Structure 1
Amino acid sequence: MKRNSIGGSVRGPVVQAGVVHGGVHLYHQAPSPPPPRQLFPVTAAWTDREADLERLDAALGERSSYASATVVITGVGGVGKSALAARWLRAQEEHTPDGQLYADLGGGRGVRPGAVLRRFLRALGLTRIDGDLDEVTSLWRSVTAGRRLALLLDNAADAALVRPLLPGGQGHLIAVTARRPLTDLVAEGARIHRLEPLAEAAATQLLARLVGEERVARERAALEELAGRCGHLPLALCVAASRLVALPDVSVATVAAHARTDHRIDVGTPSVTTTVHTTYQELPHRTARVYRLLGALPHIVIDVGTTAAACALAPEEAAWQLRALADVRLLESQGEHPGGGACFRLHDEVRPHAKRCVAEDENEASMTEAARRWLDWLLLTFTRAENLLTPAHQPMDRDVEYPSSQPFPFDDEEGAMRWLESHQSDLEAGVRAAETRGWDSLVWQLVHSAWPLFHRTRPLELWLDLHYRGLTAAGRCRHRGAQREMLTTLAIGLRGAGRYTEAAERASDALRLAREDGDARCEAQALHELGVCHHAQHEGQLASAVLEEAITIRERLGYRRGVGLSHLTLGLVHLEAGRAGQAIGHLTFARTELSQVPDVFDTARATAWLGRAWARGGDFEKATGLLEEALGEFRALRSARWQARALHMLGCTAEEQHQPERAQQLFTQALEIASTVSPKDAEHIREGLRRITPHKPGQQTEGTSPPTSPEGETW
């Protein structure tokens, strides 16, 4: 959708043209996703906090016109920080028309800002997000600069985690919740708002609303006593109200009398812990055990699959037990999981209690079994996604002690990808848990099974961290095949991060092991990786030698896609060296081979680069036709980054034909896309615009090709 000059909107295909060279091509564009609305709903029993809301509104009014409003809501656990933040941001929807985003920062427990930003960017419609944390942060700021968003950054541990998540531009509303004030954010213009427990009257009123006015009408004094024993904290009040609802024949006075501190479980905020422990003691045996075992797991998404696996339950019973725990407020509902199904979490004030209970009421064997069952289920499910999404990926061992009989949570590629993205944090938690317990085979197998996640979403920080862990674990296992796999995929991640020297070292290590072990497939892959690294470092002669060797081995193995990819890279080596004829030969072969596999995306890449090779050879008509064909394929594939690259290549081709106006149009279109998907590509395109702007009539320009080894080119 584009806005016209008087503020209206134009929908459907749009052509903006000065001089048109060739035909006009219209491609169907997938509709933009609706603005995200990720904030959890506000309870219908909302009580009081009017003064707090007024103070937050005042902070909004005090912001400068060139800035965003950031508020840090701080206070003890269970005081209602998250609920207040959601309530406030929901009331400001007219000021944030482009969406509301939510992230649980986990109190500092292993949450990576890059993972949060990638999740935010996907919610805003980006499908492929490349680069390291700095690049993803730049992309986030570019994408958000022209929007007005609401962000709830929940449960932050420190300012360092919050800063990369702050959006670009002005007009955004950011609410951060934290146990401590995070005064370091004051320098960013943040206001600190300390939230206190509810007043006595409001706490009593909240209990009455939750339980029902009729039931408590004659027990006002007991209700006030119960509210006091809950410390007037909303979390404790909600748990106590849930107990009263679950015990319709028990008086408020009886429940209040039992709400006394048990110093044996004195963790977290005492009034919350006391209420939680009393509720726990009244749970049915099986429900109490599910609660305990969930507390033994890392800080992860809790869903039916996780619960069924860890607690050895049928999915139907797991779903029932989760709902039972949510009904008494020992679990918090997180709504519908992006990967499908309901999901929950243990509140930060509840989790320490669950951990204490599992330590006291379970033995080490049962806790170990629960952890292993969960990890085995995670491994099997990641492997199922791997088989669906990357069937050509090298199959490896899967050491599973507890095979699961529950159905997988997806049955097609789209569902598998959604599940992988929504369980990325579980993967990291699982690898670390397996590492802690000394289950080295599980460490590298989990990393290996997650290849589609790394390959398609490219979370580089996570990729490198987990692969180094996987490589170390494979070494401890003395599993040579696993070491080779970890080395080659680690090399791909390193070159994606631009660390070509390290990538070449890891590829060389893989090559040595492959030759020692007689593994021709891995030998060819390692040679290909070395070739890509040499090409990226402009070492054309070395690149050609190892790529030719890789092609020979891959042809012998009958690995057609690999042959095509190595020819594609070899074509780029010749193109960079100015050998257009040789480049055309390799790229034509790569295009044919990849189209017959078939590999639609890489065929389109080969087509685009073949267009550039023909342009360098002087046949601009053929070059333009190939580049327009590739552009159409990238649009059909919804690859925004490669749409920008194809437009950039068309712009360079127009520039070489001394058509600066057309080149400027194409560069501008390319920049509009690239600025929202790839800061590196955007800078290359700006270089093209700087070359031709301003342009004087009669002045000729000397075209410069786009780089033949952009970051991630041969993935």
Structure 2
Amino acid sequence: MGGGRVAESERYDNIISGDARLHGPTVQAGAIHGGVHFHTSGAAGLLQPPRQLLPVPSTFVNRVQDLAALDALLAQASESRSAQPLIVVTGPAGVGKTSLASKWLRTFQDHFPGGHLYADLRGHAANGPALPSETLGRFLRDLGAPTVPSDPQEQAALWRTLTAGRKVTVMLDNAFSAAQVRPLIPGDPSSLVVITSRRLLTGLVMDGAGFHRVEPFDADDSLTLLTRVIGRDRVAGQRAAAADIVDLCSGLPLAVALASARLAARPAQPLETLARALADDSSRLTALNVEGEITISHTLNASYIVLSEQARFLYRKLGLLPLRLFDPHIAAAVCGRDLPWAQQHLDELREASLLEDTGPVTARFHDLVRVHARARAESDDPPSVRQDTLRAMCDWHLRTATAAQQRITPIQYTLPRTYASSSAVPLPFDDDAGALAWLDERREELMVVLQCAADNAWHDTAWQLVDAMWPLFLRMRHYDLWIRAHEIGLRGAEQAGNAVAQRQMLNSGAIGLVAAGQPDKAAQWYARSLQAARDAADARDEGQALHGLGTCHQQVGDWPQARSHLLGAIDVWQRCGYPRGVALSRIVLGEIALALHNPEQAEAHFTQAYQDLLRLEDAHDATRALVFLGSAQAQAGRYREGRTAMESALAAFTASGAMHWQARALEMLAAGAEHHGDYSDASRYRARAVDLYAITSPRDARRLTPTGDSPDTGQPRL
């Protein structure tokens, strides 16, 4: 026996620690006089036990961690000694489950003298999975059974009898269900059974199975596989294109192997040609077809056709969505079903390894599965159905974001919404904090939905969604999204011909521009809004534009112009009866007074604004007035009183989830402590502020250094 095989033997012995077991006829004696005769018949007399394990393909790469994980499952099963080791290897189509199981089992083949049995259970074959009796019949014949009963139960009983006392390894490839597997478990507890399946086969938990999920390759392993097939020199000479190819194969070993085979058959073809073909979703699966080989399309179609009709319906719907993650709410919304239905069929897609979990309730497609799901939708569903699916996605996000907006900022006026589809899906939150958390966690998703609405010329949906996202911008300060969203929303309002919506987008977007340190561009937006408001004789919007122009001048330190515009806003709002706007302009006048080192005047503005906003039940802006009031009191020499007010505001901001304003409050507390000579507290407050700014606004985090920028005004939309 070679040295490598000895090493493998020792590794197995280390994994299977415990009492030694003897199998077959055995004699242990100090001395023997005369002959020893064994008489056997039937299967026990089989001269050559079956050796059916698949060869390890030449494309097998790495998988060191996976092999170690299988070793650990074997050791764990051997320690329990309750039943023979039963290991389930799961993962999506093409990820390399069969290759991994074959490689691992071959390292232990000498430890199973009773035979190595293999069966493809055809879990995803067009003509249906193999029946257990079909596989049992072949296994029984392979073990030398002279006759095979026709009754499945008798077959299973004979299988257990023939394998009792016989140490075998059984590989059951492409299993479809736990029920298909159970009759094939051998009768000897020292035998080893390895099952591969695209499905999770969670029912085998009851049989003591251990589970290991195989993940796609990383970029290095994918490149190693490509290099092994087409050669090191060819890859080295076209490194960028090679990297693009493995990236577009998304770590799926089958995809990389097929791409490699296609390139190997075309030695003169530049790698860039295949990279371009793979980059186009409409041709990616076709580009991975190789004559005579099982293709990605074939394997995914095999997984698809065995789904229930409802799961196939959901699969196609999700394939159309431009979203990275899915959850039961969006699945229910685009399918027009309820949450239990969505959860049941999402679980079916997970069980089939067509979806992979990314969190407690979210899942995603592997990139090539996404391409396949979209292709199935485009081939199976008419254009009107596909369009309705996207519209339902946009409407659900608009409806949910609007509900969050009305919960978080109920004092603010919400422009009317229009929906093309109905939905009875419940909201994914039930309080203010949950609503803000949903907006923040889904911010990139909302931007994707916004772009989808714009691309499909659903102009009203686009600007309405931007309007509904206002609490996200106000509380969390994602400036890049704020500005980009309002540019799209403004175009949508213009295309829709809605003058009121245009002014809303101009004002809300300009607030973001000011906060992001772009006062010149913000002033241009406000000037457009001011002219439009005056043309429409809309006093409330006129006041908003004047207020905004005042904040633009405030940010650049032009205090006289800032005061002039703010007083103009107050005058307009007092005449049209909008006290909330008046209070908000008073806050900015108080900030200017603080900047001019006039804390007494600032305190008067903040006190009046705080009282008015409390009366109007605008809790968030009242808290903003309170934190500024505390800062003015600290500057006026009443540090303890001011610190109490600022800490009270900080607690309110923390409870509401307004992370940016938590940071602003901490920054003011730091300034007040430093002014009072309490440098330890100042340092502690400032460090906490920097940590929060680092999440919401890196520019503000840098501003806290001596060479930083000037602060944003944090102004509200009115």
Instruction: Determine if contact 1:527/1:546 at 8 Å carries over to the other structure.
Output: yes
TM-fit CA distance, 1:675: 2.7
Residue 222 of structure 2 corresponds to residue 320 of structure 1: no
Q: More deviation in 536-545 or 384-393?
A: 384-393
Aligned-partner SS, 1:350: helix
Residue 302 of structure 2 corresponds to residue 278 of structure 1: yes
CA distance in 2, matches of 1:380, 1:474: 18
In structure 2, what is the equivalent of residue 462 of structure 1? 481
Of 661, 672, 675, the residue aligned with 2:687 is 672
Residue 195 of structure 2 corresponds to residue 239 of structure 1: no
Instruction: Give the aligned residue type for 2:672.
Output: L
TM-fit CA distance, 1:87: 8.4
CA distance in 2, matches of 1:363, 1:415: 38
Instruction: Determine if contact 1:447/1:466 at 8 Å carries over to the other structure.
Output: yes
Of 406, 421, 424, the residue aligned with 1:402 is 421
CA distance in 1, matches of 2:68, 2:388: 38
CA distance in 2, matches of 1:373, 1:82: 45
Of 102, 120, 144, the residue aligned with 1:200 is 102
Per-residue deviation, residues 362-393 of structure 1 (Å, max 9, x unmatched): 11111111111221122111111111111123
Q: More deviation in 363-372 or 579-588?
A: 579-588
In structure 2, what is the equivalent of residue 424 of structure 1? 443
1:459–1:80: structure 2 CA closer, same or farther, 3 Å change rule?
A: farther
In structure 1, what is the equivalent of residue 495 of structure 2? 476
1:195–1:490: structure 2 CA closer, same or farther, 3 Å change rule?
A: farther
In structure 1, what is the equivalent of residue 671 of structure 2? 649
Q: Report the identity percentage.
A: 29
In structure 1, what is the equivalent of residue 247 of structure 2? none
Instruction: Determine if contact 1:568/1:606 at 8 Å carries over to the other structure.
Output: yes
CA distance in 2, matches of 1:268, 1:388: 49
In structure 2, what is the equivalent of residue 378 of structure 1? 397
CA distance in 1, matches of 2:626, 2:444: 37
TM-fit CA distance, 1:481: 1.1
Instruction: Give the aligned residue type for 1:480.
Output: A
Instruction: Determine if contact 2:634/2:643 at 8 Å carries over to the other structure.
Output: no
**Size of the alignment, in residue pairs?**
481
Residue 426 of structure 2 corresponds to residue 411 of structure 1: no
1:714–1:372: structure 2 CA closer, same or farther, 3 Å change rule?
A: closer
Of 648, 667, 689, the residue aligned with 1:632 is 648
CA distance in 2, matches of 1:427, 1:83: 37
Instruction: Determine if contact 1:464/1:490 at 8 Å carries over to the other structure.
Output: yes
Instruction: Determine if contact 2:460/2:492 at 8 Å carries over to the other structure.
Output: yes
Per-residue deviation, residues 232-270 of structure 1 (Å, max 9, x unmatched): xxxx9642776999xxxxxxxxxxxxxxx9x99646686
Instruction: Determine if contact 2:200/2:353 at 8 Å carries over to the other structure.
Output: no
1:676–1:447: structure 2 CA closer, same or farther, 3 Å change rule?
A: same
Instruction: Give the aligned residue type for 2:585.
Output: S
TM-fit CA distance, 1:417: 2.1
Per-residue deviation, residues 93-142 of structure 1 (Å, max 9, x unmatched): xxxxxxxxxxxxxxxxxxxxxxxxxxxxxxxxxxxxxxxxxxxxxxxxxx
Residue 291 of structure 2 corresponds to residue 291 of structure 1: no
1:372–1:568: structure 2 CA closer, same or farther, 3 Å change rule?
A: same
TM-fit CA distance, 1:485: 0.8
Instruction: Give the aligned residue type for 1:200.
Output: S
Aligned-partner SS, 2:366: coil
Structure 1 length as normaliser, TM-score? 0.59
CA distance in 2, matches of 1:244, 1:673: 49
CA distance in 1, matches of 2:557, 2:325: 45
Per-residue deviation, residues 259-316 of structure 1 (Å, max 9, x unmatched): xx9x996466865432221121222333212211211111332122212221222333
1:677–1:421: structure 2 CA closer, same or farther, 3 Å change rule?
A: closer
TM-fit CA distance, 1:350: 0.8
TM-fit CA distance, 1:673: 1.5
In structure 2, what is the equivalent of residue 33 of structure 1? none
TM-fit CA distance, 1:532: 1.0
Instruction: Give the aligned residue type for 1:492.
Output: I
In structure 2, what is the equivalent of residue 523 of structure 1? 542
TM-fit CA distance, 1:581: 4.7
1:321–1:400: structure 2 CA closer, same or farther, 3 Å change rule?
A: same
In structure 2, what is the equivalent of residue 389 of structure 1? 408
Instruction: Determine if contact 1:671/1:686 at 8 Å carries over to the other structure.
Output: no
In structure 2, what is the equivalent of residue 711 of structure 1? 712
Per-residue deviation, residues 198-247 of structure 1 (Å, max 9, x unmatched): 37334899999999xx977887899979579xxxxxxx9642776999xx
CA distance in 2, matches of 1:583, 1:283: 68
Instruction: Give the aligned residue type for 2:198.
Output: V
Could you say what the CA RMSD is over the residues aligned between the two structures, in angstroms? 4.4
Question: Taking CA–CA contacts closer than 8 Å with sequence separation of 6 or more, which of the two structures ends up with the larger relative contact order?
Answer: 1
Aligned-partner SS, 1:349: helix
Instruction: Determine if contact 2:120/2:173 at 8 Å carries over to the other structure.
Output: no
Instruction: Determine if contact 1:627/1:650 at 8 Å carries over to the other structure.
Output: yes
Instruction: Determine if contact 2:634/2:672 at 8 Å carries over to the other structure.
Output: no
1:608–1:469: structure 2 CA closer, same or farther, 3 Å change rule?
A: closer
Instruction: Determine if contact 1:604/1:630 at 8 Å carries over to the other structure.
Output: no
1:206–1:348: structure 2 CA closer, same or farther, 3 Å change rule?
A: farther
In structure 2, what is the equivalent of residue 301 of structure 1? 325
- The within-5 A match list for 1:64-79 is none
Residue 386 of structure 2 corresponds to residue 367 of structure 1: yes
In structure 2, what is the equivalent of residue 64 of structure 1? none
In structure 1, what is the equivalent of residue 555 of structure 2? 536
Unmatched 5+ stretches in structure 2: 1-10, 12-58, 71-94, 107-116, 124-130, 143-168, 176-194, 205-257, 259-282, 655-660
CA distance in 2, matches of 1:219, 1:585: 92
TM-fit CA distance, 1:488: 0.8
Instruction: Determine if contact 2:507/2:526 at 8 Å carries over to the other structure.
Output: yes
TM-fit CA distance, 1:569: 0.5
In structure 1, what is the equivalent of residue 248 of structure 2? none
CA distance in 2, matches of 1:486, 1:81: 53
Per-residue deviation, residues 492-529 of structure 1 (Å, max 9, x unmatched): 11112111111111111111111111222221111111
In structure 1, what is the equivalent of residue 570 of structure 2? 551
1:264–1:710: structure 2 CA closer, same or farther, 3 Å change rule?
A: closer
TM-fit CA distance, 1:548: 0.6
CA distance in 1, matches of 2:60, 2:326: 20
CA distance in 2, matches of 1:468, 1:397: 20
Aligned-partner SS, 2:198: helix
Per-residue deviation, residues 16-75 of structure 1 (Å, max 9, x unmatched): xxxxxxxxxxxxxxxxxxxxxxxxxxxxxxxxxx9xxxxxxxxxxxxxxxxxxxxxxxxx
Instruction: Give the aligned residue type for 2:666.
Output: A
CA distance in 2, matches of 1:602, 1:451: 14
Instruction: Give the aligned residue type for 1:496.
Output: A
1:445–1:714: structure 2 CA closer, same or farther, 3 Å change rule?
A: closer
CA distance in 2, matches of 1:343, 1:319: 11
1:469–1:267: structure 2 CA closer, same or farther, 3 Å change rule?
A: same
Of 469, 476, 479, the residue aligned with 1:450 is 469
Instruction: Determine if contact 1:300/1:429 at 8 Å carries over to the other structure.
Output: no
Structure 2 length as normaliser, TM-score? 0.59
Query: Max radius of gyration: which structure?
Result: 2
Aligned-partner SS, 1:483: helix
Q: More deviation in 343-352 or 307-316?
A: 307-316
1:199–1:589: structure 2 CA closer, same or farther, 3 Å change rule?
A: same
